Each structure stands twice: as C-alpha cells, then as structure tokens.
C-alpha cells in the first residue's frame, strides 16, 4: 500500500464540498454585478452556466466516491496477475466514475476557457476595424472549441464501440481501448499550453490600454489570478507524465514525491482525480472573480474610506502631539533663560544695595590701623 499522504477520504470530501460552495458564491456575485451594472447578458454569461453545473456535479461525484471508499484510499496488495485480470467491486465502481469524470472534465474545462475568452473579448475588443487582439482571441476560441470537441469524442470512444471494456478488467482496458494514460497525458499537456496562452493575452493587452500605471497594475493582478489555474494544471500534467514514464513494470511508482505500489491503482487514480478537480475548481473561481471587479470596488470603497480616515486622524493626532511637544520644549527653554537673567539681576542688585547700605569704618579702627590711636 502506498504511503499515507494528503489525498485521503477527508481531503477528497473537503474539496468536493468547498469548491462547489465557493464557486456558487462567486457565480452569484458575478450575476449580481452583471444585473446591477449592465442589465444585459453576454456570451460569457451563458457559457458559465454549463461550466457551473458540471463543476458542481464533479464535486458531488468526488464526495460520493470518497464516502463509498473507492476514491481517496488505497487498493490492497495484489499480484500483477490479480491486477490485470481481477474484477473487485471497488475497481469496477472507480472505472465507471473515471469514464464519466474524464468526459465531464474536458467539458467543464472547455466551457471555463471559453467563458474567460469571451469575457476578455468584451473587455479588450476593438471598435470598428479588427485589431490584433480580435484575431488572436478568435483563434484561441477556435482552438479551445476544437480541443474540447476532439477530447470529448476521444474519451467517449476510447474503447471504440466496446464501451463495457472501460469498466471491466485492466486487461480488457488495455486490449480493447487506446492507451488511456497517454490520452490523459496529451490532454493535460495541450490543456496547460492553452492555459498559458489564454492568461498571457490579457496581460499583454493591458499595456496597450490608456490608463494610469496604478490601474494597469490593478488590472494585471486581477487577470494574474489565472496563474493559480496554470499551476494546478501543471501539477496534474506532471502526475500523468510520471505515470506514463514509470509504467506498470516497476514495483513502485513515485508521483509528486509520494510513492505508491504499482498495483495500487486506487491511490494513483485518486491523486490524479484530486488535482484535476482542484484545477476545475480554481479555474471556475478565477473566471467568476475576474468579472466581479466593480462589485468588489463598490463593496470595498466604504472600508477604504474608513481606513483612510483613520490613518488621516492618526497622522493629525501625531502631528499635533509633536507640535505641542516642540512648543513645550521651547517654552521651557525660555523660562530657564528668564530665570537665569532674573537670578543674575537680583544678585547684582542685592550686591549694589548691600554696598550702598554698608556702615562706615569707625574712626577708632581707622586710627588703630594708622597707629595714631590716642589712648589718653
């Protein structure tokens, strides 16, 4: 059995709940903003609906599979022959989930990409004559559409018309179907390359817009949220590439630093399903949040004003305190100087007064000093 790691029944259940909840909240904010500020729907507002349905359905499937114990766990030790020709109930249920999941994951990722592309088009498209962005944007829309249709077709007919082989023994899967891991690998690689192109285009376009540097930075940060989707897609791509590279001949297989037994197909598939759903959930959140800028600006405006007022008040208090301290210091210095002058004056006056009031030396003392004192 593979070593215990972060992909388990609890974590699979958690992402199956968290992403649908956060996704629906983000979708609600997106719809609220569109209704309040534009009162109209565009193509991206329509495409986000099937993406949301499929995202929630995949999350529900992950939760059910984890609670039933065939996603997030590990297969018991089996010999290579038992792996190839055995038909345990948990394996058959996992294979049926996989068949539906891989078809659905292409659709939800495809609709998410198209939503982002049409949203970008609404923001950056030129008015009147066609611009470079128009051509590039339409090209990417065409690429994503072809990609989605092609891989949905391949996933459905990966076993030709022998659909039963997709959820039978591993031997049947390898005999009647194409190399499913090679299919997943090509899908993951092309998906990641397309993601890089899709999220790089807006960042390039922002530089050509007539806006302040501050607004450009803000817009770039919003679209840079797509980096999280790119990272999740990269991790999934690395996993499936490692599976293809290792094959089934070695006794163990290492995926993202975690070692599994080669016969532990449940652990391997659970890891791939986990990161695939993370990519789906993060991608959906990104396409919703990038369209919620005005809502967040309006919601954060009172908070920012309050913070600015507090900072201004604190600065004013500090400035007044500093002024008072400086004034007190100057007054103290003046008082000390006045005191010194007063004391000096008093001493001088007293000395003069004492000098004036000093009694004369008696004659007998003066005569005594001269030696002329007459004692008679």
- Residue 227 included in any domain: yes
For residue 364, give every residue at least 6 positions away whose Cβ sits within 8 Å of its Cβ, in sequence order, or none: 373
Same-domain status, 193 and 108: yes
Q: How confident is the model at residue 347 (pLDDT cuts 50, 70, 90)?
A: very low
Measure CA 194 to chain center.
20
173: pLDDT strictly greater than 80:
yes
More confident residue, 162 or 297: 162
352: pLDDT strictly greater than 80:
no
Tell me the three state secondary structure of residue 237. helix
Same-domain status, 273 and 343: no
Same-domain status, 227 and 166: yes
More confident residue, 235 or 309: 235
Cα–Cα distance for residue pair 136/166, rounded to 1 Å: 38
Name which of 141, 136, 134 is nearest 114 in CA terms.
Answer: 141
Cα–Cα distance for residue pair 135/201, rounded to 1 Å: 12
Give helix 43-68 / helix 265-289 axis angle, nearest 10°.
150
More confident residue, 356 or 235: 235
- Residue 272 included in any domain: yes
pTM metric for this prediction: 0.77
Long-range (24+ apart) CB contacts under 8 A made by 162-166 are 166/95, 166/96, 166/98, 166/99
Mean pLDDT of 177-200: 92
- Residue 365 included in any domain: no
Residue 46's pLDDT is 93
Mean pLDDT of 250-272: 81
Q: How confident is the model at residue 320 (pLDDT cuts 50, 70, 90)?
A: confident
- Residue 4 included in any domain: no
Same-domain status, 251 and 326: no
- Residue 368 included in any domain: no
The model's pLDDT over 36-75, given as tens digits with 9 standing for 90+, comes to 887 778 899 999 999 999 999 999 999 999 999 989 988 8
Q: How confident is the model at residue 12 (pLDDT cuts 50, 70, 90)?
A: very high
Tell me the three state secondary structure of residue 211. coil
CATH number at residue 229: 1.20.1070
Q: Where are the beta strands (DSSP E) in the chain?
A: 252-255, 258-261
Same-domain status, 146 and 125: yes
The model's pLDDT over 197-213, given as tens digits with 9 standing for 90+, comes to 998 888 887 777 767 77
Contact (CB, 8 A) for 230 and 237: no
DSSP 344-355: HHHHHHHHHHHH
Same-domain status, 200 and 143: yes
- Residue 84 included in any domain: yes
- Residue 39 included in any domain: yes
Same-domain status, 91 and 58: yes
Same-domain status, 283 and 325: no
Other C-beta atoms within 10 Å of 355: how many?
8
Same-domain status, 242 and 191: yes
Mean pLDDT of the chain: 81
Same-domain status, 258 and 190: yes
Same-domain status, 141 and 271: yes
214: pLDDT strictly greater than 90:
no
Same-domain status, 235 and 311: no
CA atoms within a 13 Å half-sphere pointing along the CA-CB vector of 141: 17
Cα–Cα distance for residue pair 357/350, rounded to 1 Å: 10
Which residues span the domain enclosing 320? Answer: 295-348
């Amino acid at each position: 059995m593979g070593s215990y790691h972060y992909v388990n029944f609890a974590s699979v259940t958690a992402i199956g709940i968290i992403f649908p909840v956060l996704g629906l909240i983000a979708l609600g904010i997106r719809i609220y903003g569109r209704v309040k500020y534009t009162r109209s729907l565009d193509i991206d507002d329509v495409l986000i609906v099937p993406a949301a349905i499929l995202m929630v359905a995949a999350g529900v499937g992950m939760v059910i599979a984890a609670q039933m114990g065939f996603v997030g766990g590990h297969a018991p030790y089996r010999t290579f022959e038992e792996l190839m020709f055995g038909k345990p109930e948990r394996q058959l249920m996992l294979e049926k989930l996989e068949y539906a999941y891989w078809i659905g994951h292409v659709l939800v990722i495809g609709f998410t990409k198209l939503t982002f592309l049409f949203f970008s088009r609404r923001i950056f498209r030129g008015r009147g004559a066609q611009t470079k962005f128009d051509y590039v944007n339409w090209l990417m829309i065409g690429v994503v559409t072809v990609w989605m249709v092609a891989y949905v077709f391949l996933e459905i007919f990966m076993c030709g018309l022998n659909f039963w082989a997709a959820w039978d023994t591993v031997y049947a899967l390898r005999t009647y179907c194409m190399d499913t891991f090679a299919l997943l690998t090509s899908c993951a690689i092309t998906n990641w390359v397309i993601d890089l192109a899709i999220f790089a285009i807006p960042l390039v376009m922002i530089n050509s817009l007539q806006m302040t540097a501050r607004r450009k930075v803000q817009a770039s940060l919003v679209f840079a949220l797509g980096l999280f989707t790119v990272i999740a897609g990269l991790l999934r791509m690395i996993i499936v590439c490692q599976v293809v590279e290792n094959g089934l001949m070695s006794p163990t297989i290492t995926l993202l630093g975690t070692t599994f037994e080669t016969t532990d197909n449940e652990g391997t598939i659970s890891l791939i399903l986990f990161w695939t759903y993370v990519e789906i959930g993060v991608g959906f959140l990104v396409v919703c949040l990038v369209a919620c800028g005005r809502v967040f600006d309006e919601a954060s405006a009172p908070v920012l004003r309050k913070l600015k007022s507090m900072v201004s008040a604190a600065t004013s208090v500090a400035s007044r305190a500093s002024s008072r301290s400086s004034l007190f210091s100057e007054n103290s210095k003046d008082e000390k100087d006045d005191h010194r002058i007063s004391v000096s004056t008093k001493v001088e006056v007293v000395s003069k007064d004492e000098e004036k009031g000093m009694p004369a030396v008696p004659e007998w003392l003066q005569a005594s000093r001269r030696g002329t004192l007459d004692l008679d």
